[in-house]
Amino acid sequence: MKTLSARYRQAHKEAYWAIGLALAYFLWWYVSAYGFAPAINDLSMPTLYFGFPLWFLLSCIVGPIVFTILCALMVKFIYRDLPLEITDDKPHE
């Protein structure tokens, strides 16, 4: 990636992936935390998985592990090491 415009394209691609992953994590957390939580007027003890209620297990334990792995994969396969030297888009005559 020698040209500035190619670096900008790569930077925009990386930014879109990062924003998408952050939004996906928020959606995961919101759905698992509020979707699997018991109703407010339900005072019975929830079913426990590994000692945790399902909503907590999914939103606070499984979610961060899954999205940390996804973040590592994103850095490995999508992000590129870019040089910091600036070169012109147009070749010199």
pLDDT tens figures, 12-65: 999 999 999 999 999 999 999 998 887 777 777 778 888 999 999 999 999 999
| Region 72-93 average pLDDT | 78
Domain that holds residue 63: 33-38+47-80
Tell me how far apart the alpha carbons of residues 11 and 85 are, in angstroms, rounded to a whole number. Answer: 15
Work out the percent of the chain whose per-residue pLDDT is above 70.
89
Whether 72 is in a domain gets the answer yes
Tell me how far apart the alpha carbons of residues 23 and 84 are, in angstroms, rounded to a whole number. Answer: 29
How many folded domains does the chain comprise?
1
Whether 71 is in a domain gets the answer yes
Whether 89 is in a domain gets the answer no
